Structure 1
């Protein structure tokens, strides 16, 4: 059972990295992110798109071992499939491969999400295709290598369990780290939080030391997950969750 939520790219940003709103929604195109960095999960890739992706690329969904996050409504023609037809007729789904995640669980979650999409959009099962189908790119790489055979993945879609919507928690939180003895150390950790996690962060001076304060997270679970990402990436030994 996969939890789904939206973190939609604004229309003003979307028009810069899509072909508009006329997606025929004939195919589901399955991708993998190829980003194995610690913390490069669904939330990080969703934030990347919201904050303005430096690549000329876009996709509708990103899925990891915990959740599926939607960046674009399905009517947008995202730049993901590598060809005009693939973009114009495809709903693009990225499976995260971050090294601190459970890849097999992420694949299961992707299957659950796709089962919902084909029902919602009335898409034929045989029109679930790999990125390779349109562009010839070796993507989704792990599935194509047999880590989860494609026939098994399609069977997972057929047998997928229901989607779960998360409880609504609108309270805002921030993460505050312990102190760093040098500005360089704080800046190094900040760079990872910005570029890999897609967070808004800034450095505060605390006497002769420095600490990092993040932007806001909605809901205590999101804040706790952010705290875990910091510790998994060994960016700070001490962290605090504070009300925003």
Structure 2
């Protein structure tokens, strides 16, 4: 299995540099853009640092020829699942597809099976730990494998066979409950708080007003990671504050 490393530049919109917790899941996606290539999707993630259109990325993108591009190291968080707690404990894989039905072609499918098996071996996961984006948020992703449950089960069984594990007969393992990480607040004090693009506070991207409050995802390398409103608009950014005493 060949993996081309084309790591994204550290930025607030696609690669924050935040470290993962223990890896517990692999989340499978479709790119949602028929006939697009792996490198085009990787470059879309990279360009978000300039366009600021959204927050999105994945650890890997698998192309129509079966090529695998690594965008983010596995020990860092990618913005792929729509759930902050899931992002902090999972590896996201985006897969290219030839049409809007969303079925992966043979090249993409075989590389996905091989990559998932490799990740499962290295993190001691079972195929029950391989899930769809749909299983996290209900989004129809990857479309074909949401609309065709038996095809998703077949995929998991193909990974199980490669691992020598028992096969499965349900799409998703039943869970007794899920544990969400509670959202913290950053409550600014009597001075303007600068916000930076990275936890080392090298590139300033904004600021919080006096007594302004916003969401805080936690403290990483001594810096609070916050999501704050840009001025009086409905746009938000993610960045790193300075004063950890403001985290509540």
Structure 2 counterpart of 1:62: 61
Mark the CA change 1:18 to 1:7 in structure 2 (over 3 Å): closer, same or farther.
closer
DSSP-derived class of the 1:72 partner:
coil
- In the TM superposition, what whole-angstrom CA distance separates every residue of 1:16-46 from its partner, at most 9, and x where no partner exists? 435611343110001111101x4x1112112
Tell me if the contact between 2:64 and 2:98 (Cα under 8 Å) persists in the aligned partners: no
Tell me if the contact between 2:61 and 2:93 (Cα under 8 Å) persists in the aligned partners: yes
Unaligned residue ranges in structure 1 (runs of 5+): 162-244
DSSP-derived class of the 2:20 partner:
coil
Tell me if the contact between 1:4 and 1:69 (Cα under 8 Å) persists in the aligned partners: yes
Whole-Å Cα distance in 2 between the matches of residues 97 and 33 of structure 1?
7
Structure 1 counterpart of 2:6: 7
DSSP-derived class of the 1:76 partner:
coil
TM-superposed deviation, 1:49: 2.2
TM-score of the pair, normalised by structure 1: 0.57
TM-superposed deviation, 1:129: 0.7
Structure 2 counterpart of 1:97: 97
Whole-Å Cα distance in 1 between the matches of residues 149 and 106 of structure 2?
9
Structure 1 counterpart of 2:146: 144
Whole-Å Cα distance in 2 between the matches of residues 116 and 28 of structure 1?
11
- In the TM superposition, what whole-angstrom CA distance separates every residue of 1:129-175 from its partner, at most 9, and x where no partner exists? 111111111111011222971111012212349xxxxxxxxxxxxxx
Report runs of 4+ in structure 1 exceeding 6 Å deviation: none
TM-score of the pair, normalised by structure 2: 0.56
Tell me if the contact between 2:8 and 2:14 (Cα under 8 Å) persists in the aligned partners: no
1:27 is matched with which residue: 3, 25, 28? 25
Tell me if the contact between 2:13 and 2:54 (Cα under 8 Å) persists in the aligned partners: no
1:167-206 matches, cutoff 5 A:
none
Whole-Å Cα distance in 2 between the matches of residues 65 and 147 of structure 1?
22
Tell me if the contact between 1:142 and 1:148 (Cα under 8 Å) persists in the aligned partners: no
The alignment of Structure 1 onto Structure 2 pairs a total of residues equal to 156
Structure 2 counterpart of 1:42: 38
Tell me if the contact between 1:60 and 1:78 (Cα under 8 Å) persists in the aligned partners: yes
Whole-Å Cα distance in 2 between the matches of residues 18 and 6 of structure 1?
14
Tell me if the contact between 1:63 and 1:110 (Cα under 8 Å) persists in the aligned partners: yes
Whole-Å Cα distance in 2 between the matches of residues 159 and 126 of structure 1?
13
Whole-Å Cα distance in 2 between the matches of residues 44 and 91 of structure 1?
20
1:120 is matched with which residue: 114, 122, 136? 122
Structure 2 counterpart of 1:74: 74
C-alpha RMSD over aligned residues: 2.5
Whole-Å Cα distance in 2 between the matches of residues 52 and 81 of structure 1?
17
Mark the CA change 1:152 to 1:102 in structure 2 (over 3 Å): closer, same or farther.
closer
